[in-house]
Structure 1
Amino acid sequence: MSITRLETQQRMSRIVIHNDTIYLCGQVGADANTGIQEQTRTMLAKVDALLEQAGSDREHVLSATLYIRDMKDFSAMNEVWDAWVPEGYAPARACVEARMARPELLVEVSVIATVK
């Protein structure tokens, strides 16, 4: 069984595909100096781009794990998340409060999807 790795560097690959399952590395917002909703929006835009590159889309997301710096932002983050997920295609999901790699990061997501 083959494994395809895209955008591979020393530490990680941004995309790994095995048996038509796509694993994305953690994604954060484009600008860590913005609020939770903008960080969530741009983070999910990055997910969209990676899914497209891997031959998938939002409707094929199987699982998502969200890491949020402070649960006080949970509702605001969910407003953006709920608008992003296509109706009827909600993935399995976990959301945990976590210390982030940099203090200005408010949210990160790790996604598993399937090829279309």
Structure 2
Amino acid sequence: MKKTISTELAPAAIGPYAQAVATDNLVITSGQLPIDPATGAFPEGIEAQTRQSLENVKAILAEAGVGMDRVIKTTVFLSDMNNFGAMNEVYATFFTDGSYPARSAVEVARLPKDALVEIEVIAAL
């Protein structure tokens, strides 16, 4: 079974893809840019952009009926690895139960719309 997940509380897909797809056991999100769904704009700075990307992830997971505590894997794409420490501080605040998911963090040459960060997750249902 495959179900498309969509919410107006996160930015709409900017291409031919879903915000997330749920299977019998998992929710897999597309990469979430730090777009504020109310304004369509990016906040300034890596901390605010990380927070917005994760708020978008959180809204999509909520639509699927799960919380951040169910995230088992994340991938963080950074436009500059020098932003890793600041991103990491904000990131940690979204996983407060002490059981962090597995994670990869990579620097990429460029992100859509010149974002500083993009985050995707896999969560267990």
Whether TM exceeds 0.5 here: the answer is: yes
Q: How big is the shift at 1:59?
A: 0.6
For 1:92 and 1:73, how far apart are their aligned partners in 2? 19
Does structure 1 residue 100 correspond to structure 2 residue 81? no
CA RMSD of aligned residues (A): 1.7
Gaps of 5+ in 1: none
- Structure 1 counterpart of 2:30, from 8, 17, 25: 25
**Structure-2 residue corresponding to 1:15:** 20
Partner Cα separation in structure 1 for residue 98 and residue 47 of structure 2: 23
Task: Name the CA distance, whole Å, in 2 between partners of 1:77 and 1:27.
Answer: 14
Structure-1 separation of matches of 2:29 and 2:81: 24
**1:43 paired residue number:** 53
Task: Report the alpha carbon displacement of residue 33 of structure 1 after superposing the two structures with TM.
Answer: 5.0
TM-score by length of 2: 0.83
Which consecutive unaligned segments of at least 5 residues does structure 2 have?
7-11, 36-40
State the alpha-carbon separation in 1 of the partners of residues 117 and 43 from structure 2. Answer: 12
Provide the rounded CA distance (Å) in 1 between the counterparts of 2:43 and 2:122: 27
**Shift of the alpha carbon at 1:28?**
1.2
Deviation at 1:82, TM superposition (A): 1.0
Q: State the SS of the aligned residue for 1:19.
A: coil
Q: What amino acid is the match of 2:24?
A: N
Say whether the 8 Å CA contact 1:58–1:86 is kept in structure 2. no
2:45 counterpart letter in structure 1: G
Instruction: Give the Cα separation in 1 of the matches to 2:5 and 2:58.
Output: 15
Give the alignment's TM-score, normalised by structure 1: 0.89
Q: Where does structure 1 differ by over 4 angstroms across 4 or more consecutive aligned residues? A: none
SS of 2:19 mapped into structure 1: strand
Q: CA deviation at 1:32?
A: 2.6
Identity rate, percent: 33
Counterpart of 2:119 in structure 1 is 109
Q: Which has the higher strand share?
A: 1
Residue correspondences, number: 113
